[in-house]
Amino acid sequence: MAPSTLIGRVMSGDRPIAESEVTLYGLVGQCIPDPCISVNVPVAHARTDVHGFFSIDLSQAATEVRNAIGEKSVVTREQPRPGTFYLIATGGRVGARANPAIKLMLSMANPPPSGWVTINELTTAASVMSLVGLMGPPRAEELGPADPGDLAMMSAFVSPETGRVQPLLSEGVNSSALINTLADILSGCVRSDSPDAPACGRLFAGTPDTGLPFLKSTSPPVLPTDTLMAMRNLVFYRTRSVNSAFDLVPVDPPYTPVLAHPPNAWMLSVNFARGGLKNPTEIAADPDRDAIWIANTGGDSVVELSTKPEHLGVPLSGNAGFLGSGLRSPFGIRLIPLFPSEASLGPTYPVPSVWVANLGGKSVTLIFPGASGGASLKQIIGNSLDAPSSIEGVSHIRGVHQLGYDSIAVVSSGSKAVSFFRSDASQCGPALEHIGLDRPGAIGTCYFGASSLCVVNSGADDLVLVDPPGADCRGGGVVNRIHGGGISNPQYFVEDWTGKLGMTMWITNRGNNSVSAFAGSSEEEAVAGSPFTGGGLDHPAGIVSGGIGQIWVANNGSNTLTELSAWSTPPGGFISPAGGFTGAGLNHPWGLAIDRHGNLWAANRGGKSVTMFVLGTKRP
């Protein structure tokens, strides 16, 4: 049962913050001014006593909303939607005088069952890391619409009740040192008696807002005036203020352990060694189930991990993963919602399914996840399957790619062929053989020319554009080839629509430690400056779009990740440091995926784990 009263405390370490204004925010709908939108607004207020305590009557949490009924404007008192709560504590004093620069945050979605909460620098750091993509200047507390899972993500790392780090950050190779260090950086200003104190002045001077990275701003940098905006800028520009911010850690920090040296970025990473993982390769996000699917190559299994905040990293596939039905060195994996085979009669609701390419055999495995756990597995053979390495969905129903597919395509490195199957797993025409494939790898949807599929042709340093068979399973063949632009032993590609050039294809090149980029629709042209080197690129493998002009690459050769910008001039500028981003347990990372909360997951092919990076950026 949900609590009727919220009782909490605003703290800096073990010191209470008195006379702080605590505001409860929630999401409400409003239609004036037009159009109707959902906005996060204050719905309740409280003030802390000398011990930092406050209480809020949740039954009275509401706000006045002006809406139109006919030609009249009517003011109603609206309660916030469940699952949309977060708290902001503003001002107050730790010492003798109040400091209006104090601003701390706790995102919680719903109040804890106990009704007790703690707001401090740790909850602020974890909240900002989880929501930074929804926080914009000039007021970081005014979030864009967030779903309950986004607002609850903080609780996976810091307890909303106690304000202390969760056990997850002490599990295996994980550490709480980075998030403690960020909290300590804020504490110096929070414990000051004035915004003009050196601890605040240095913090604000070192964390300006300069607009989006790689975009030239016509306005001067804007310095923050409170600790919440300073934390937002630290996390948003994660590589920019590392050394100067690290120097602000107090001699006697309230949160320990702390980092011994500055990190290469203010970015939290968490390692999960669960579910029987062993040399995992490709990885796929499942937004509907709030899960990640992993091809567990070394364990002849498929592992499903939860991405829900309350069960983050918990194996949904048991301690050993899903086994059987032909799984043998599974490598390629793809979540492919399928329309039934009679989809030609008109689209119906797609059936969720996971397809796995068994590199160590001559089959693919089809997995139908159960609604309440478990899964059913089916082995598919024939149609020239031989050491299949990658899978992609195909849709013959125009405009429904985001909903589902009515057939699949499979690339086999053994037979050097592309095979096609209907949604019922039956063969869909003969395989495309003798089409010049040489060590073929990844296959994916692409929109160059008349093609709808591209196959990475590692041995020939190109990409083969393939037209799949029609809905009647006839026809299909090679349309064109993409080459040049620095393509050398290519591994994977991703198409991104969020950069300055519109639709752009990004390709990882193991042969020259680079990424190539092509833009265009009918004429494929390499982007100026392609191939791009630097930013830590080292035997790059998996690649994924972050959805807001970010391109992420797994460096299989150096245990790091590289981030490129699709908005730089020219596109392909590096956001990552020269050596790439490091992370907890990264071990020859291979496949990458971004979950529904904007977190980035990397499969550690050289180990027995996956690593999650908390990006706080929702995909559009």
Say what the pLDDT of residue 619 is: 46
74 within some domain: yes
**Among 505, 572, 482, which residue's Cα sits nearest to residue 532?**
572
* Statement to judge: residues 53 and 167 lie in one domain: yes
Say what the pLDDT of residue 88 is: 98
313 within some domain: no
Round to whole Å and give the CA distance between 47 and 41: 18
**Signed CA dihedral, 109, 115, 121, 126: sign only:** negative
For a pLDDT cut of 90, what percent of the chain falls above it?
74
Say what the pLDDT of residue 395 is: 78
Say what the pLDDT of residue 341 is: 61
Round to whole Å and give the CA distance between 473 and 407: 9
Of 188, 223, 246, which residue sits at a domain end?
246
Say what the pLDDT of residue 217 is: 57
- Residue 519: pLDDT band by 50, 70, 90 thresholds? confident
Round to whole Å and give the CA distance between 117 and 98: 22
610 within some domain: no
pLDDT at 218 over 80: no
Q: Strand pairing partners for 64?
A: 77
Round to whole Å and give the CA distance between 598 and 618: 4
**Domain enclosing residue 548, as ranges:** 484-582
Question: Both ends of the chain: CA-CA distance in Å?
Answer: 34
Round to whole Å and give the CA distance between 317 and 301: 10
533 within some domain: yes
pLDDT at 491 over 80: yes
How does pLDDT run across 398-440, given as a tens digit for each residue? 444 556 678 899 999 999 999 999 888 899 999 999 999 999 9
* Statement to judge: residues 351 and 476 lie in one domain: yes
Q: Which residue has the higher pLDDT, 619 or 363?
A: 363
Residue 469: helix, strand or coil by DSSP? coil
pLDDT at 101 over 70: yes
The token pair at 215 is 């975009």
| Mean of all residue pLDDT scores within the chain | 91
* Statement to judge: residues 67 and 216 lie in one domain: yes
* Statement to judge: residues 546 and 457 lie in one domain: no
- Residue 138: pLDDT band by 50, 70, 90 thresholds? confident
Round to whole Å and give the CA distance between 193 and 206: 20
Round to whole Å and give the CA distance between 305 and 72: 51
* Statement to judge: residues 166 and 67 lie in one domain: yes
43 within some domain: yes
Inter-helix orientation angle 227-236/121-131, to 10°: 40
184 within some domain: yes
The structure's pTM equals 0.95
* Statement to judge: residues 144 and 228 lie in one domain: yes
Per DSSP bridges, beta strands 560-565 and 550-555 are: antiparallel
How does pLDDT run across 234-284, given as a tens digit for each residue? 999 999 999 999 999 999 999 999 999 999 999 999 999 999 999 999 999
- DSSP letters, 410-432, are EEETTTTEEEEEETTS-B-S--B
Number of domains in the chain: 3
Say what the pLDDT of residue 45 is: 97
* Statement to judge: residues 528 and 429 lie in one domain: no
- Residue 343: pLDDT band by 50, 70, 90 thresholds? very low
- Residue 214: pLDDT band by 50, 70, 90 thresholds? low
Phi first, then psi, for residue 260 (nearest 5°) are -80, -25
Round to whole Å and give the CA distance between 423 and 418: 16
* Statement to judge: residues 475 and 488 lie in one domain: no
Of 200, 228, 246, which residue sits at a domain end?
246
- Residue 507: pLDDT band by 50, 70, 90 thresholds? very high
Task: Please state which of the ranges 12-21, 250-259, 440-449 shows the lowest mean pLDDT.
Answer: 440-449
Say what the pLDDT of residue 439 is: 96
The token pair at 387 is 């050491």
CATH code of the domain in which 493 resides: 2.120.10.30
* Statement to judge: residues 499 and 463 lie in one domain: no
Q: Which residue has the higher pLDDT, 252 or 210?
A: 252
Query: Residue 188 has what DSSP assignment?
Result: H
168 within some domain: yes
Per DSSP bridges, beta strands 573-574 and 589-594 are: unpaired
Say what the pLDDT of residue 71 is: 63
**Average pLDDT in the 74-81 region?**
83
Residues in the chain: 620
CB atoms within 10 A of CB 534: 16
Q: Strand pairing partners for 158?
A: 165
293 within some domain: no
Q: Which residue has the higher pLDDT, 588 or 476?
A: 588
* Statement to judge: residues 116 and 21 lie in one domain: yes
* Statement to judge: residues 215 and 330 lie in one domain: no
* Statement to judge: residues 371 and 492 lie in one domain: no
Of 185, 211, 246, which residue sits at a domain end?
246
How does pLDDT run across 36-53, given as a tens digit for each residue? 778 889 999 999 999 999
Query: Residue 203 has what DSSP assignment?
Result: H
